[in-house]
Structure 1
Amino acid sequence: MFVRFSPIYLSALQNRAANGQISENPKARTITIRKRQATFLGHVMRREKLEHLVTTGKFEGKRSRGRQREKIMDGLATWLGPGKVSDILAAVKDRDLWRDMIANAYKHGT
């Protein structure tokens, strides 16, 4: 005998299964996002284009009130370990070193 489920019920079951996998390892999603950000940053920093200037440049004028937004470079500097943003910018130029830094940070899950 076959039991038919409605599409809404099936999607709820699939969501429950996916949520169960995420709740088992809540840091996995954040670590994956950071790894992809670091990979993209390496790609952007090796090119001397507008994206490079926007990522590393400073804006003139006053900063807005309230809590300041997190910069990509500062977030990656804390994720990749002790070091300054200038050290990261120097490491990006060497592809092998950059890949090793990302792999070590990903392996340790910081």
Structure 2
Amino acid sequence: MLRISWTAKKTNDTVLEEAHTTRLLVCKIRKRQATFFGHVMRREKLENLVTTGMLEGKRSRGKQREKLIEGLTDWLKAGKSLEAIEATKDRKKWRTMIANAVKQGT
């Protein structure tokens, strides 16, 4: 297709730039994560506490796992996680934030 040898040391990003495409699968997964997060945050149940990471108790030793909310705020460029949580309460605002992030293709 692009005639890139398997021995060539090129990153995936450079190959995608040469092909003039974006990572469609990653964008689809992040969009679904964001819609699921918005759905969960509009409810007031245990799932809400789990996704935000606000459970009581000690966390295990070692490197801590990244919370879902932290990954989404980075992708949506929402600034703080509290802004993203407040945006989920308004469906239209949340959907526009997701649509803008998908258009940017990051």
Q: TM-score, normalised by structure 2?
A: 0.73
Indicate the structure with greater helix content. 1
Considering only CA atoms, is the larger Rg found in Structure 1 or Structure 2?
1
Q: Residue 46 of structure 2 aligns with which residue?
A: 50
Instruction: Detail structure 1 runs of 4+ shifted over 4 Å in the superposition.
Output: 23-26
Percentage of pairs with the same residue: 57
Q: Residue 87 of structure 2 aligns with which residue?
A: 91
Distance 1:82 1:46, change over 3 A: closer
- Unaligned stretches of 5+ residues in structure 2: 1-15
Matched length: 87
Amino acid at match of 1:86: L
* Among candidates 40, 57, 60, match of residue 64 of structure 1: 60
Q: Deviation per CA, 1:64-98, whole angstroms, max 9, x where unpaired?
A: 33322111000001000141000001000000000
| Contact 2:22 2:105 survives alignment (8 Å) | no
Q: TM-score, normalised by structure 1?
A: 0.71
What is the alpha-carbon distance in structure 1 between the residues aligned to residue 102 and residue 80 of structure 2?
19
